[in-house]
Structure 1
Amino acid sequence: MSLSIVTTLVRNLITVPAAVLRSRVAKDAEVLALRHENAVLRRQIARVRTNPQTESGSPRSRGSSRASAGARPSPSPPPHLPAWHRQLIARKWTFTRHRRPGRPSTAPAVKQLILRLARENNSWGHRRIQGELTRLGYPIAPSTVRGILHAAGIDPAPQRSGPTWRQFLTAQAHGIIAADFLHLDTISLKRLYALIYIEHDTRRVHLAGVTAHPTTAWTVQQARNLAMAQGHRLELLRFLPRDRDSKYTRSFDAVFEADDVEILLSPPQAPKANAICERESCALSAESSSTAC
């Protein structure tokens, strides 16, 4: 107890010289700041809002009102903005009615130009059309051109007016001979490989040769044997579809190109492109397996 009294006296003795030694200018500045603060508080409590229910609703509120009758009224919150003012501000700073969100749509004139270029140039894809539009002064993305063509029912890929692969094979069946490899499993669990050719028109199968280790040289020799066996009949053929096996080399293609036969490469991992030969190969392989068993 005595220690706290001594501490209080020492603190007061320290503050008294500080208050005496303060300059008159500092005191005037503090007085002006207090006056300004009082003026601000008076403006805030100029309009006092009372709630009749809370003022005279319950005995507790009546007792509290009597107790605080001589007290200073508490400041009320500022009034809210009117509803019409809030709606006005919301309309002013909202841009959804003026412009749709996202990328602006392509002009109708540019769309018509894209469709015209696609119809008049069947060999042009969407990237070629986008390049021509850029040269004409219409900067546009290739994806936009592709979307416009797709929405109009036009294939974005070039050569969209030509026949499909199935229609081509049906129309040119009399001039097509296909090549493919098939495997044969013997009773001694040895696998042999056979090179066959099949004519699409008559479904006639030509067995070129069978070997356990097919090489590129062997494949070229079997092509020469077929050309010699067919003779003038090979001149009636126009196309030879084949897959992309590494055993088919440039020399293999040259044997048939010498008789004006065009080599058609099937897409990677697309057995349906040479479906007739693939189906025959599977049937012969299954038959050989069942015979060996």
Structure 2
Amino acid sequence: MLLRLLYRLVVRVFGWLVLLARGSASKEVEILVLRHEVAVLRRQVPQPRPARADRALPAWHRRLVKKKWTYPAKQGRPLISEEIRDLIVRLARENPRWGHRRIQGELLGLGYRMGEGTVRRVLAAAGLGPAPRRASPTWRQFLISQASGILACDFLHVDTVFLKRLYVLFVMEIETRRVHILGATANPTGAWTAQQARRLLTGLGERADRFRFLIRDRDGKFGRAFDEVLIGADVRVLKIPPRSPRANAFAERVVGTLRRECHDHLIIYGERHLRTLSPG
């Protein structure tokens, strides 16, 4: 078997040596004929099964091409040192109104040639956005700095044993985490929510002047009258973006706590029963 394989290889090698002495025109004609034969054979034999000697030639040719045309790997952009990264981030934080081009220019003045895209990527990796956004406080920074004057409200729905849904309106003081249960109803109309807003201001008494903002979602149950009562008391209503419960995270946390620690363990019979569990 081995001798037969060697014989076939030797025959083909001598055949290639003969081709070296032939002209280019005759070679091109033979290539066209061979291509035609290959096309005919592929139509007749969809999946050919070459012998070991037949597979040896293409394998040798692939190794030859791979060895011949192997180029060194291309070198990418040079890496940025940690010192330059820290300098870019420091310039952005100390100068929140500077954009990518301004920082690039300052780096050039300091002797560092840096592309604008590189500066942008470094700032993005550090969590720093464009200059106008960095100049204003984030939502988290706003909540921390103004916590003493912020209220957050939301609805908590409770399903009774008779498949009736009740809605509980509550308000939370962000700084102290104090929760005010304003009321519960099966039909929260705009007039009802406005009355609960008046009830909140009455309950706060003199402390109502401390609060400047109230955060709520865009639920239609609040209504315009609810906002007008608060605006009349110099309280600005901040509506969170659609489908963004995390923007009102404090109120969402109250909803989760009430469900896990109270309503999930009790069977609610009706509105009167719910009022006794949630005194307001």
- TM normalised by structure 1 equals 0.48
CA distance in structure 2 between the aligned counterparts of 1:282 and 1:258, rounded to whole angstroms: 31
State the SS of the aligned residue for 2:134.
coil
CA distance in structure 1 between the aligned counterparts of 2:257 and 2:127, rounded to whole angstroms: 39
State the SS of the aligned residue for 2:172.
strand
Corresponding residue number in structure 2 for 1:291: 266
Return the match for 1:195 from 163, 166, 169. Answer: 169
Corresponding residue number in structure 1 for 2:216: 242
CA distance in structure 1 between the aligned counterparts of 2:141 and 2:214, rounded to whole angstroms: 16
State the SS of the aligned residue for 2:222.
coil
Instruction: Name the CA shift for 1:122/1:246 in 2 (closer, same or farther; >3 Å).
Output: farther
Return the match for 1:156 from 129, 135, 139. Answer: 129
State the SS of the aligned residue for 2:129.
coil
State the SS of the aligned residue for 2:258.
helix
How do residues 224-235 of structure 1 correspond to structure 2 at under 5 angstroms?
224-235=198-209
Task: Structure 2: give runs of 5+ residues left out of the alignment.
Answer: 1-17, 25-74, 77-87, 102-115, 269-280
Instruction: Name the CA shift for 1:154/1:207 in 2 (closer, same or farther; >3 Å).
Output: closer
How do residues 5-84 of structure 1 correspond to structure 2 at under 5 angstroms?
none
Corresponding residue number in structure 1 for 2:192: 218
Once the two structures are TM-superposed, the CA of residue 118 in structure 1 deviates from its matched residue by: 6.7
Once the two structures are TM-superposed, the CA of residue 216 in structure 1 deviates from its matched residue by: 2.4
Preserved CA contact (<8 Å) 2:154 2:169: yes
Instruction: Name the CA shift for 1:156/1:290 in 2 (closer, same or farther; >3 Å).
Output: same
State the SS of the aligned residue for 2:195.
helix
1:13-69 alpha-carbon deviations (Å, 9 max, x no partner): xxxxxxxxxxxxxxxxxxxxxxxxxxxxxxxxxxxxxxxxxxxxxxxxxxxxxxxxx
* 1:290 aligned partner, one-letter code: H
Once the two structures are TM-superposed, the CA of residue 278 in structure 1 deviates from its matched residue by: 1.2
1:278 is aligned to 2:264: no
Preserved CA contact (<8 Å) 2:167 2:186: yes
Corresponding residue number in structure 1 for 2:54: none
Number of positions where the alignment pairs a residue of Structure 1 with one of Structure 2: 189
Once the two structures are TM-superposed, the CA of residue 173 in structure 1 deviates from its matched residue by: 2.4
* 1:288 aligned partner, one-letter code: H
Once the two structures are TM-superposed, the CA of residue 120 in structure 1 deviates from its matched residue by: 8.7
Q: What value does the CA root-mean-square deviation take over the aligned residues?
A: 4.6
Preserved CA contact (<8 Å) 1:195 1:210: yes
Return the match for 2:183 from 209, 212, 237. Answer: 209
- Of structures 1 and 2, the one scoring higher in RCO (CA 8 A, sep 6+) is 2
CA distance in structure 2 between the aligned counterparts of 1:120 and 1:227, rounded to whole angstroms: 42
State the SS of the aligned residue for 2:133.
coil
1:149-176 alpha-carbon deviations (Å, 9 max, x no partner): 536x472343315544334323332222
Preserved CA contact (<8 Å) 1:179 1:196: yes
Once the two structures are TM-superposed, the CA of residue 240 in structure 1 deviates from its matched residue by: 1.1
CA distance in structure 2 between the aligned counterparts of 1:169 and 1:119, rounded to whole angstroms: 20
State the SS of the aligned residue for 2:155.
strand
Corresponding residue number in structure 2 for 1:259: 233
CA distance in structure 2 between the aligned counterparts of 1:235 and 1:247, rounded to whole angstroms: 26
Instruction: Name the CA shift for 1:283/1:247 in 2 (closer, same or farther; >3 Å).
Output: same
Task: Structure 1: give runs of 5+ residues left out of the alignment.
Answer: 1-73, 81-99, 102-113, 131-141
State the SS of the aligned residue for 1:217.
helix
Aligned-residue sequence identity (percent) comes to 48
CA distance in structure 2 between the aligned counterparts of 1:173 and 1:224, rounded to whole angstroms: 22
Once the two structures are TM-superposed, the CA of residue 277 in structure 1 deviates from its matched residue by: 1.5
Which protein shows a greater Rg? 1
Instruction: Name the CA shift for 1:147/1:170 in 2 (closer, same or farther; >3 Å).
Output: closer
State the SS of the aligned residue for 1:180.
strand
Once the two structures are TM-superposed, the CA of residue 196 in structure 1 deviates from its matched residue by: 0.5
Instruction: Name the CA shift for 1:213/1:240 in 2 (closer, same or farther; >3 Å).
Output: same
Preserved CA contact (<8 Å) 1:243 1:267: yes
* 2:265 aligned partner, one-letter code: S
Preserved CA contact (<8 Å) 2:190 2:224: no
1:174 is aligned to 2:148: yes
